Amino acid sequence: MVIEFSNDYLQCLFEGKPVIGKPRFPADVIIKFKKTILILQYADSSNSLKKFKGLNFEALKGNLKGYYSVRVDIKYRLIFTINKDLSLTVSEIIVIDELSKHYE
pLDDT in tens, the chain (104 residues): 889 999 999 999 999 998 888 888 999 999 999 999 999 998 888 888 888 888 999 999 999 899 999 999 989 999 999 887 655 555 677 888 888 886 55
Strands ordered across the beta sheet of 76-84: 2-5, 92-101, 76-84, 68-71, 58-59
The whole-model pTM stands at 0.85
Structural domain of 12:
2-101
pLDDT at residue 89, rounded to an integer: 53
Domain CATH number, residue 35: 3.30.2310.20
Number of domain units in the chain? 1
